[in-house]
Amino acid sequence: MRGSDELLSQTAAVSNGGIMTSQPDNNNDAKKVKLDRNLNKPSRVVHVRNIPMEAMETDIINLGIPFGRITNVLLLKGKNQAFLEMADETAATSMVNYYNNSGTPIIRGRTVYVQFSNHKELKTDNAHPGSISTQAALQAAQALTSETDTQGGPNTVLRVIVDNQIYPITLDVLYQIFSRVGKVLKIITFTKNNTFQALIQYPDVITAQAAKLSLDGQNIYNACCTLRIDYSKLTNLNVKYNNDKSRDFTNPTLPTGDIGLDSLGFGGAMSMMGSPFAGLPSLGAPLTAAYSAAAGLPLGAFALPPAVASATFGLAGFRLPGQQSFGGCVLLVSNLNEEMVTPDALFTLFGVYGDVIRVKILFNKKDNALVQMSEPHQAQLALTNLDKIKVYGKEIRVNPSKHQLVQMPKEGQPDAGLTKDFTSSPLHRFKKPGSKNYQNIYPPSATLHLSNIPASVTEEDIKTAFQDTGGSVVAFKFFPKDRKMALIQMGSVEESVIALIKMHNYQLADSSHLRVSFSKSTI
């Protein structure tokens, strides 16, 4: 029986330059792989067979990254196979041994077969049209590998922090993403320092390392919800309940921890929640093409299957398309303190989460207002973060409005300055597409981030100005490496909200206006 590289055996070295001699494809090749596995002598070139048509070079590279430096890759989509050249034979041997004895290699949901190639090296043609993407993928892989040289403590348990969390992240969402890399055993989620975090356990170190290398730094949603992944100090997770906060996938009979549900016989069985934002515009990302399903969520680098999204988002207070359709830009804000709130105050507060186009305080019901945002997802952000917060002593309510836009008053119509158009305001935070401000959106918090502070302004100047807003300053700290920025902590979230309204764009010097936003940090 011939070796597994039969299709390419007539060339001295593998080439992607189009000069390869093709042999008839053997439909039984995948079946023969198990028999052929041990026939080839060790080589630093690894042969991967049965890959899906939609596979990319990065998918092949991700299989090899945990085992060492990768020096070349060749993807033959027409033959459903690929070749991966490792830096040395030891790394290739570790890879082949692992995938044949311990872990099942999977690319985009399909099991693939890994074994040594007959070839000792890959000679690829840099003039080939695919060489640019190949070189880019290789450079990224080499950068990842060099990073791991300075990182210690590989472990089966990963600690995951979700940075810049604009949209709700659930245990089910994390499961969908992390199970793409390999079998997930357990997940525990929690909030620490106002940041959503999780501990995720894999069956072995190799899979955990592959997940860390391929997912660290990825955005779950476009331009937000960034995964920061490290190894945990824990070696095993002790999960007591299967619910929306923790899950042991090896023990589905665990109680939920809810006495009512447990008494009815409901275990903590996995419920696969789908995309919350299918149908909302402006959430697409170029990385979604690899995984996207038409009805799934456009994610930063992933797409979850369309499923029972309403369960997840009903709990989070979301209205989905088809559920009192909310794809509009206008919000109804009620229970306002009509003695204190102005269109400018609402513009500043809601402007933290998007560009406010118009504000109308209702003439006959001044504790209600309409706020028109620039984009539907900005309106959704504002609703998520500002509903039920206290503003000037009253807990405001934020809901989708039936109006599609805010009308300016007709000439001669009484308005008393209650309607204002901010279309041309210089204070919009998100005018530039892909603005970095999207990466610094946080829920209202007692700590505020200050920027654009002139060198002539002292700590006392700033603290006095913020105390004059009616709140107390608990702590203050300049950024050590950049004195133009600082953190200031007010006595409460309510005080912080008022301080932001009054101090954003506050003139500190002749040509300097303060920039204020909510911070995830504490001092």
pLDDT at 345: 97
Residue 140 has pLDDT above 50, yes or no: yes
For the question of whether the overall pTM of this predicted structure is more than 0.85, the answer is no
- Starting at the edge strand found earlier in the chain, the sheet holding 515-518 runs 473-479, 482-490, 447-451, 515-518
Q: Look up residue 304 and give its DSSP letter.
A: P
Contact between 190 and 243 (Cβ < 8 Å):
no
pLDDT at 49: 94
Alpha-carbon gap, residue 507 to 503, rounded angstroms: 9
pLDDT at 33: 41
Contact between 116 and 80 (Cβ < 8 Å):
no
Confidence of residue 2 (pLDDT cuts 50, 70, 90): very low
Residue 514 has pLDDT above 60, yes or no: yes
pLDDT in tens, 21-58: 334 444 444 444 443 444 478 999 999 999 998 888 87
Residue 299 has pLDDT above 80, yes or no: no
Q: Look up residue 198 and give its DSSP letter.
A: E
Extract the tokens encoding 92.
């290739």
User: Where does 169-266 show beta strands of DSSP type E?
Assistant: 186-192, 195-201, 219-221, 224-231, 246-248
pLDDT in tens, 211-250: 888 788 888 877 788 899 999 888 889 998 888 889 998 8
pLDDT at 305: 39
Average pLDDT over residues 63-86: 88
pLDDT at 129: 42
Contact between 503 and 516 (Cβ < 8 Å):
yes
- Computed on alpha carbons and rounded to an integer, the radius of gyration of the chain in Å comes to 28
Alpha-carbon gap, residue 514 to 83, rounded angstroms: 55
pLDDT at 415: 76
> How buried is 361 (Cβ within 10 angstroms: 0-12 exposed, 13-18 middle, 19+ buried)?
buried
CA 279, 281, 282, 286 dihedral sign is positive
CA 226, 229, 234, 238 dihedral sign is positive
Query: Rounded to an integer, what is the distance from CA 126 to the centroid of its chain?
Result: 34
User: Where does 10-143 show beta strands of DSSP type E?
Assistant: 45-49, 70-76, 81-86, 106-107, 110-111, 113-116
Query: What 3-state class would DSSP assign to 211?
Result: helix
Mean pLDDT score of the chain: 76
Extract the tokens encoding 298.
């456009």
pLDDT in tens, 386-423: 999 999 999 999 999 988 899 998 877 777 889 999 99
Alpha-carbon gap, residue 4 to 432, rounded angstroms: 53
Confidence of residue 327 (pLDDT cuts 50, 70, 90): low
pLDDT in tens, 453-476: 998 999 999 999 999 999 999 999
Average pLDDT over residues 411-436: 83
Contacts within 8 Å (CB) and 24+ apart, 493-497 = 493/389, 493/390, 493/444, 493/445, 493/446, 494/389, 494/390, 494/391, 494/393, 495/446, 495/469, 495/470, 495/471, 496/444, 496/445, 496/446, 496/447, 496/448, 496/471, 497/349, 497/389, 497/390, 497/391, 497/444
